[in-house]
């Protein structure tokens, strides 16, 4: 019988770390095509990198093809080991940086979509502060739906998220930053658009179709009446939701600053503002224990300082 091949013999080289980072990004993204933007690489190049890694490790890491992307049992083991290895590298870098009073490394931020349009958003000010404090840190920003942000932080796909939490997560630190106003809207062409407020009754809404948003999901409604609304469409991304509402066939909830900034104020009308309107609180969230903790703490300090400046502007 031949001897079993050693998957890795000798020291890990820089190329091994690069291949492992590519592999981790592919898994985090859910496949080769989905990872193209994050890696800034063509699909064929990514495929070659993964093939090189499989040859290096003498194992098949994933299935790809018409059936979609999935990890093999060996791939799952390598993915977990890669997370541990890259986390240890980050922790080593952070400790050395602190000893030299210099901040190096990377910071991956996950933002809820269209958040920068909020009048009270402190994100730009925080980025400015952080860029001055840590000019050598490589920053990556990914936008996604609100619910996707919290999942990305918990699963270590991003370091810090800024989003609206549906509930508390025991594994996350949470720092409130700013609010946004949400209203129920209808558009020109909808039967309720020209109905005067005094003649409009809340029971009238039961005769029309709604677009489901995160706060209209079962158990997460902001008002008891919302449980009985006829949700015939689903769009958890605001741009998609706005498209359905603007069609004149659906009612839906949108942030007021998005309606104003996109120039839709003349085309969309809020209904029952005091009854169904509510405010979302955006918070900065991060895992309570993270290998990239020093950089995370620095950016969180910038966020909190920028938030306080907006709440207490200088005269």
**What are the pLDDT digits (tens) for 270-291?**
999 999 999 998 999 998 877 7
Q: Which domains does the chain have, with CATH numbers?
A: 14-87 (1.10.10.10), 93-179+281-311 (3.40.190.10), 180-278 (3.40.190.290)
Ranges 23-32, 200-209, 249-258: which has the least confidence: 23-32
Residue 215 in this model has a pLDDT that exceeds 70: yes
Residue 248 in this model has a pLDDT that exceeds 80: yes
Return the pLDDT at 230: 95
Return the pLDDT at 98: 67
Of 143 and 183, more confident? 183
Q: Quick: pLDDT tens for 219-237.
A: 889 999 999 999 999 998 8
What are the angstrom distances between the C-alpha of 77 and each of 15, 61, 71, 85, 156?
Answer: 20, 9, 9, 12, 17
| Average pLDDT value for the chain | 87
Mean pLDDT for 124-146 is 90
- In the block, tokens 């091994």 appear at 16
Return the pLDDT at 108: 93
Residue 7 in this model has a pLDDT that exceeds 60: no
What's the CA gap between 100 and 95, in Å, rounded?
9
What's the CA gap between 315 and 261, in Å, rounded?
27
Confidence of residue 36 (pLDDT cuts 50, 70, 90): confident
Q: What are phi and psi of 71, to 5 degrees?
A: -85, 145
Residue 118 in this model has a pLDDT that exceeds 60: no
Residue partners of 236: CB distance under 8 A and separation at least 6: 145, 146, 147, 212, 213, 214
* Residue pair 257/265 in contact by the 8 Å Cβ criterion: no
């Amino acid at each position: 019988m031949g001897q079993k091949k050693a998957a890795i013999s000798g020291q890990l080289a820089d190329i091994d770390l690069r291949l492992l980072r590519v592999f981790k990004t592919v898994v985090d993204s859910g496949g080769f095509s989905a990872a193209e933007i994050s890696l800034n690489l063509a699909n064929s190049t990514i495929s070659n990198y993964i093939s090189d890694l499989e040859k290096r490790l003498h194992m098949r890491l994933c299935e790809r093809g018409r059936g979609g992307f999935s990890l093999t049992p060996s791939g799952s083991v390598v993915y977990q080991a890669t997370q541990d290895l890259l986390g240890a590298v980050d922790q080593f870098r952070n400790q050395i940086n602190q000893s030299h009073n210099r901040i190096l490394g990377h910071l991956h931020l996950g933002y809820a979509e269209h958040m920068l349009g909020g009048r009270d958003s402190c994100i730009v000010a925080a980025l400015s502060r952080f860029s001055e404090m840590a000019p050598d840190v490589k920053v990556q920003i990914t936008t996604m739906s609100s619910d996707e942000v919290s999942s990305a932080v918990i699963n270590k796909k991003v370091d810090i998220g800024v989003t609206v939490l549906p509930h508390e997560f025991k594994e996350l630190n949470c720092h409130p930053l700013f609010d946004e106003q949400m209203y129920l809207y209808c558009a020109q062409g909808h039967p309720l658009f020209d109905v005067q407020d005094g003649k409009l009754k809340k029971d009238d809404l039961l005769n029309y179709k709604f677009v489901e948003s995160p706060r209209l999901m079962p158990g997460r409604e902001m008002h008891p009446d919302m449980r009985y609304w006829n949700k015939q469409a689903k769009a958890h991304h605001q741009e998609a939701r706005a498209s359905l509402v603007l069609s004149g066939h659906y009612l839906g909830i949108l942030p007021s600053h998005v309606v104003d900034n996109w120039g839709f104020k003349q085309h969309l009308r809020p209904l029952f503002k005091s009854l169904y309107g509510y405010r979302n609180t955006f918070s900065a969230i991060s895992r309570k224990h993270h290998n990239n903790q020093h950089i995370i703490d620095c950016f969180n300090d910038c966020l909190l300082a920028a938030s306080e400046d907006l709440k207490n502007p200088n005269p």
